[in-house]
Structure 1
Amino acid sequence: MQTYRIGLIGLGGMAHSHLRWMAEEGRYEVVAVSDVNEQALAEKGDALGIAPGKRYTDFVQLIADPDVDAIVSVTPNHIHAAIIRACLEAGKPFLAEKPFTRILQEADALLEQYEAQPIRGMVGFSYRYTPAFRYARELVREGKLGAVRSFSVQYLQGWGSVLNDTPYIWRFNPEITGTGTLGDLGSHMIDMARFLFGEFKELSAQLRTLVPERRDPATGRMVKIEIDDFVSFQGLMAGGEAGVFQSSRNAVGSDNQHEVTIYGDFGTLHASTLEPERVVWTREEAPGRLARAVVDVPAHCKATQYGDFLLLLDGEAPDGLPGFMDGYRNQEVLDAVIRSSEQRRTVSLSNSSDPLSE
């Protein structure tokens, strides 16, 4: 089977995870790396055994390298669009981190380019590969819960809480991130709803900045925070399912708590990153009697992000793989959340430029 030569863009903390995931699959070889930090480029290049001529400070040169078969991009948000644009121009398959772009206008430009010259692309909505969520999707699609009436999704982390005295870092800089918690964690919630139920029809949202200032570690001065660190919204899906969403980076005691609870006519299902290989299923055990069971996820519901990327590179189309259009649709919903919060109104995704009638 073919081994794919990978050009890795971005050598920060998350790159270590991506390198491990690639190594676990056994069919990837990182042959070129790129980063604006020359020290990181030298250190990681040495550690990976990358030839000096394959270490790029300019990611466009890496993408154009004829020895690179595909791109893996693990970078801050503000260069996502430029990297995907360069991949489209070069015809190089890619796996890029989420959110797709900072703002919808960037995504619109990429969509126009993609429609003119489509390539194989994958967006890093990694929680599609949490076994519990994959099993939940199977149960919903097979009708085991009956008609789904409503659901709730939350994604909570605690690292940004006052208790931790979290300093001002790039994730709080709107020029880099576009949004805060919304793009970082909320994009995963949006993708999970789409993964489970399909497209959004309408939503009503609020964004809040709970911690108004953070200390700049370089100067010691307090910096005003101009992006959200809390988001909540209600959504209606195209199939009629009503959803409630919340996300925060200020939830003390929450490490990486992404979870969904689904309410159907035949029962309730709960899946979470806290129990990635189990679901909690409440259903009728006998007429008039409910039972709550912890159910192990079957083996066929276990897949990996980089396993699916291999299938994509091989020319296959794995069910549920988050592709280019999933990234674009996600950005449409992110934009609708922002406008709903700013304008204090319900936004329709079918014609999101106009308010819904009362």
Structure 2
Amino acid sequence: MNNYRIGLIGLGGMAHSHMRWMEEEGRYTIVAISDVNEAALTERGEQLGIPAGKRYRDFERLIADSDVDAVVSVTPNNVHAAIVRACLLAGMPFLAEKPFTRLFEEAAELLTLYEQRPVNGMVGFSYRYTPAFRYARELVREGKLGAVRSFSIQYLQSWGAVPNHTPYIWRFNKDITGTGTLGDLGSHMIDMARFLFGEFKELSAQMRTLVPERPVPATGRMVKIEVDDFVSFQARMEGDEVGIFQSSRNAIGSGNQHEVSIYGDTGTLHASTLNPDQLIWIREEAPGQLVKAVIDVPERCKVSQYGDFLTLLDGAASDSLPSFMDGYRNQQIMDAVIRSSTEKRTIRL
């Protein structure tokens, strides 16, 4: 089996997790790094034993490095499109963090380039690798719930809630993020719906900014917040399943609560990040007799994100892998959510 030489772009907080996940697979070696922060380059370079000549302030130079087999990009949203574009132009395989781009217009430009110069790419919709969600998908596809009629998906966090006195950080800067909760958490909800049920047909949405101002840490000056910290929408999928979606960063008591409930003719499934190795299955065992069981997820559903990235690099990508086109479709649906909320109407996809 091949080992792959990785160029890592972005050395912030999430990079720690990506480095750990790569190390767990045992087939990745980070050989080059890039960041605009010189101090981070030096610190991480020394930690990883990266020579000075492989520490790049300019990510395009890293992507052009002939010693790099694939790129992992863990950056703020405003550079996602530029990094993917550079990878497409260089023919460089990549794993890029979500959301796919900051704006849908950027995604549309990338699609045009991708159709001309296709490259193996993966988008970091990491919750496809939560075992309970994978097992739920398997049970739905096997018809264990009969016809699925409806579902609900929510993704709740609490770090933005008023009692936490959360200051103004880059995630509240529209120029960097494009959207707030929608791109940060809602993109995962959208991907989960597509992972489970296929494409969206139509949706109707509302987006709100619940906390209108936040203080700048250095000065205490209050800054107006122009991105959403709550989003909800309802949608109809290609199989006519109807779904309800809710996401907030202001949900007190929710640490990282991403969950789905699926309602079929013969049963109901509940799966959540709060209990990733089990799901709840409610079904009729005999006429009029409901059974609620906690089901352990089988080992075959315990697939890692970086294990799946290896299948892409090995040339045998699995059908569960979130590809370039999954990133594009996700951005397209987020754009529909924005338009629906702004124009106060149902959007057909």
Q: Place the TM-score, normalised by the shorter chain, in its bin.
A: over 0.9
1:224 is matched with 224
1:211 is matched with 211
2:339 aligned with 1:339: yes
> Cα offset for 1:146?
0.4
2:122 is matched with 122
> Cα offset for 1:254?
0.4
2:57 is matched with 57
Q: Deviations along 1:116-173, whole A, 9 cap, x unmatched?
A: 0101000000000000000000000000000000000000000000010000000000
CA distance in 2, matches of 1:149, 1:108: 32
2:235 is matched with 235
CA distance in 2, matches of 1:304, 1:51: 30
AA paired with 1:133?
A: F
Kindly report which structure 2 residues correspond to 1:190-339, keeping only aligned pairs within 5 A, or say none.
190-339=190-339
Instruction: State the secondary structure of the residue aligned to 2:72.
Output: strand
2:106 is matched with 106
Q: Deviations along 1:239-279, whole A, 9 cap, x unmatched?
A: 10000000000000100000000000001000000000000
Kindly report which structure 2 residues correspond to 1:126-205, keeping only aligned pairs within 5 A, or say none.
126-205=126-205
CA distance in 1, matches of 2:219, 2:178: 23
CA distance in 1, matches of 2:292, 2:277: 17
CA distance in 2, matches of 1:25, 1:324: 22
Could you tell me which runs of 5 or more consecutive residues in structure 1 were left unpaired when the two chains were aligned: 350-358
Q: Deviations along 1:276-330, whole A, 9 cap, x unmatched?
A: 0000000001111101000000111110000010110000121210000000000
> Cα offset for 1:218?
2.0
CA distance in 1, matches of 2:18, 2:302: 18
CA distance in 2, matches of 1:218, 1:342: 33
2:95 is matched with 95
Instruction: State the secondary structure of the residue aligned to 1:92.
Output: coil
CA distance in 2, matches of 1:219, 1:187: 32
AA paired with 1:118?
A: P
CA distance in 2, matches of 1:320, 1:177: 27
CA distance in 2, matches of 1:163, 1:241: 38
> Cα offset for 1:220?
1.1
> Cα offset for 1:108?
0.4
AA paired with 2:90?
A: A
Instruction: State the secondary structure of the residue aligned to 2:184.
Output: helix
1:84 is matched with 84
1:19 is matched with 19
CA distance in 1, matches of 2:299, 2:2: 26
2:44 aligned with 1:44: yes
Instruction: State the secondary structure of the residue aligned to 1:295.
Output: strand
Q: Deviations along 1:186-217, whole A, 9 cap, x unmatched?
A: 00000000000000000000000000000001
Q: How many residues align?
A: 349
CA distance in 2, matches of 1:243, 1:320: 21
Instruction: State the secondary structure of the residue aligned to 2:189.
Output: helix
Instruction: State the secondary structure of the residue aligned to 1:40.
Output: helix
CA distance in 2, matches of 1:259, 1:236: 19
CA RMSD, Structure 1 to Structure 2 (Å): 0.4
TM-score by length of 1: 0.97
1:356 is matched with none
1:66 is matched with 66
Moved over 2 A (4+): none
CA distance in 2, matches of 1:8, 1:214: 32
Instruction: State the secondary structure of the residue aligned to 2:283.
Output: strand
> Cα offset for 1:219?
1.8
Instruction: State the secondary structure of the residue aligned to 1:135.
Output: helix
> Cα offset for 1:42?
0.2
AA paired with 1:294?
A: V
CA distance in 2, matches of 1:128, 1:77: 20
Could you tell me which runs of 5 or more consecutive residues in structure 2 were left unpaired when the two chains were aligned: none
